[in-house]
Amino acid sequence: MNKITFIGAGSTVFAKNVLGDCMLTPSLQEFELALFDIDEQRLKDSESMLNNLKLTTGSGCKIKAYSDRKEALRGAKYVVNAIQVGGYDPCTITDFEIPKKYGLRQTIADTLGIGGIFRNLRTIPVMLDFARDIQEVCPDAWFLNYTNPMAVLTNAMNTYGGVKTVGLCHSVQACLPHLFKDLGIDTTGVQTKIAGINHMAWLLECTRDGVDLYPEIKRLAAEKQKEKHRDMVRYELMLRFGYYVTESSEHNAEYHPYFIKKNYPELIEEFNIPLDEYPRRCVKQIERWKTMREELVHNKGLEHTRSHEYASYMLHAMETDEPFKIGGNVMNTGLITNLPKEAVVEVPCLVDRSGITPTYVGDLPPQLAALNRTNINTQLLTLEAAITGKKEHIYHAALLDPHTAAELSIDDIVRMCDDLIEAHGNWLPKYV
């Protein structure tokens, strides 16, 4: 049988979406769904959940859990990655609490910012271990990365892992439906063009029957800004810089130097910014799992409706040569001409039997490219730190992060990095 390997399969709900989708895809019925996770109990839970789905869907897919990662990967045609290194406790807590001691507040801290830097540093070595296994036992496999920080991890796998990797994120799919629902606009017949970097890609074009919808979008957004709502940061960025950004306001609040400022605490209320949002979500998810586990793992009548996740549609396109369009994270091989070639960009891509073919975008509007570059600087220096093992590049990455640099002195940023390195302990390799 052909094989789809899911690493991080203990993410049971996400495994249900991605692999449940595969089980409902006719062209994938002859595949083995190979599951691997370092948490044995969560791995068993996911195996049971998928076997429940196999019964209710009548899928021809074979479900098999592995205790050996290399064996799970052996012969795989596709690999889906959804790991989180260090989890909520201790690593996410550390990413939030130590910066807080320096007066640096965060919302999500999983992509950029000081939390994103350290999530990268503990995840990249693990990902490159995967790459070594893949090179040995399934060198032609496509690696579908769903793990954040998306841009840097996808870059590491392509540049240093030698693995065919595409990064997949929900934000491109959700961008237009979220915006139009919020503003009360019908999405029927709307054409869009989205490009940039992960979590900071831009709705560059939005038309219906050739008519530009942006004037109406901005008019409605300006009206909506007069009252408090959940997307105030993104609307403010659009009204100031001209374009709507793909990822949520809670994320973008910490990607820029304008919104979370200890000397202007009123901005938190003004822009309705949920500080410490990700830890709250983690606590709720941990609590929710206690009841959800019963619903998924022991439910013999479990059902599934195909989700909006890209993976199964991509695999179907590659198996059947029926083209499918995605927003993918890929190396910038001249795709966005005013962003660095070393960076990973998020652009429209065509998927078919030949693989994943990114599309040429050209220059972004100069103000958007400039905003992207502020984040790319930190991404590339974080990758440099991980590959060279030099502590100085961790400092460089943090010093160039827009939010961190706007809030703290050079000395405090360096001290904070040292505290984070010490607190993470064995979750990080040794830096010199």
Q: What is the pLDDT of residues 4-25, one digit of tens each?
A: 999 999 999 999 999 999 999 9
Q: Is 29 exposed, middle or buried (0-12, 13-18, 19+ CB in 10 A)?
A: middle
In angstroms, the CA 239 to CA 111 distance is 24
% of the chain with per-residue pLDDT over 90: 99
Q: Are 403 and 113 in contact (CB under 8 A)?
A: yes
Say if residue 378's pLDDT is above 80.
Answer: yes
Beta strands in 200-341 (DSSP E): 200-208, 211-212, 324-331
Cis peptide before 215 (omega within 30 of 0): no
Half-sphere exposure (Cβ direction) of 137: Cα atoms closer than 13 Å: 18
DSSP label at residue 281? H
Tokens 């260090």 map to which residue? 86
- Give the span between the Cα atoms of 405 and 257, in whole angstroms: 8
Percent of the chain surpassing pLDDT 70: 100
User: Any idea what DSSP says for residue 316?
Assistant: H
User: To 10 degrees, the CA torsion angle through 415, 418, 423, 426?
Assistant: 180
What's the pLDDT at 79? 98
pLDDT of residue 331: 98
- Give 208's contacts (C-beta < 8 A, 6+ positions apart): 188, 189, 190, 191
Report how far residue 185's alpha carbon sits from residue 56's, in angstroms, rounded to the nearest whole number. 38
Region 332-349: mean pLDDT is 98
Domain ranges within the chain, ordered by starting residue: 172-270, 366-427
Q: What is the mean pLDDT of residues 185-202?
A: 98
What does residue 4 show for φ and ψ, rounded to 5 degrees? -110, 115
For residue 75, the model assigns a pLDDT of: 98
Residues 175-197: b if buried by 16+ CB within 10 A, e if exposed: bbebbbebbebeeeeeebebbbb
What is the mean pLDDT of the segment spanning 132-150? 98
Task: Give residue 1's pLDDT.
Answer: 77
* Cis peptide bond prior to 366, omega within 30° of 0: no
User: How many Å apart are CA 164 and CA 227, to the nearest integer?
Assistant: 46
| Strand partners of residue 330 | 345
User: Which of 80-84, 288-292, 300-304 is predicted least confidently?
Assistant: 288-292
The three-class DSSP label of residue 423 is helix
B/e letters for 384-405, b = 16+ CB within 10 Å, e = fewer, are bbbeeeebebbbbbbbbbbbbb
Which residues make Cβ contacts (< 8 Å) with residue 144, sequence separation at least 6?
Answer: 78, 79, 80, 81, 165, 166, 168, 310, 311, 314
Distance CA 126, CA 116 (A): 16
Q: Which residues are catalytic?
A: 170
Q: What is the mean pLDDT of residues 71-85?
A: 98
Q: What is the pLDDT of residues 79-130, one digit of tens each?
A: 999 999 999 999 999 999 999 999 999 999 999 899 999 999 999 999 999 9
What is the mean predicted confidence (pLDDT) over 131-153?
A: 98
Can you tell me the mean pLDDT for 239-259?
Answer: 98
Task: Return d(Cα 77, Cα 164) in angstroms, integer.
Answer: 11
**Paired tokens of 187:** 């999405």
Residue 123: CB partners within 8 Å, gap ≥ 6? 83, 85, 147, 149, 153
Phi, psi for residue 365 in degrees, rounded to 5? -50, 140
For 343, half-sphere exposure in the C-beta direction (CA atoms, 13 angstrom radius) is 22
Residue 63 one-letter amino acid: I
**Local confidence band at 31 (pLDDT 50, 70, 90 cut-offs):** very high
